């Protein structure tokens, strides 16, 4: 039987944070209920965000963690707009 987490497509947003905003962006993600998906990433000024799973992985040079929406990074502000739209229409069961 296939594990539940493998049933979802591995699709993410790559959010460019710059070095100075990465920590505050990750803190914001965690305040919104996102959790760390893997400790494998790190050290780069971007974050892979899996919106449907509410998980994230810090960026790592040369490593892709899923299909990147749009095939390029987006800004933190753009991600927050997308996230607000997603939350508006989210119909998943609340825990």
Give residue-wise pLDDT tens across range 4-61: 544 556 788 999 999 899 999 999 999 999 998 876 667 788 899 998 889 998 877 6
Establish if 31 belongs to a structural domain: yes
Q: How many domains does the chain have?
A: 1
pLDDT at 35: 92
Establish if 29 belongs to a structural domain: yes
Q: Contacts from 41-49 at CB under 8 Å and sequence distance 24+?
A: 41/65, 45/16, 45/17, 45/18, 45/19, 46/14, 46/15, 46/16, 46/17, 46/73, 47/14, 47/15, 47/17, 47/22, 48/12, 48/13, 48/14, 48/15, 49/12, 49/13, 49/14, 49/15, 49/79
What is the residue range of 17's domain?
1-57
pLDDT band at 89 (very low <50, low <70, confident <90, very high): confident
Establish if 47 belongs to a structural domain: yes
Q: Which tokens in the block code for residue 49?
A: 């965000």
What pTM does this model have? 0.78
pLDDT at 58: 86
């Amino acid at each position: 039987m296939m594990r539940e987490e493998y049933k979802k497509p591995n699709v993410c947003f790559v959010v460019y944070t710059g070095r100075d905003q990465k920590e505050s962006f990750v803190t914001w993600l965690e305040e919104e209920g996102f959790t760390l998906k893997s400790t494998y990433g790190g050290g780069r000024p971007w974050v892979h965000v899996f919106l449907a799973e509410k998980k994230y992985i810090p960026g790592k040079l040369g490593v892709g963690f899923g299909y990147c929406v749009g095939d390029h990074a987006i800004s933190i502000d753009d991600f927050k707009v997308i996230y607000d739209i997603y939350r508006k229409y989210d119909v998943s069961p609340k825990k």
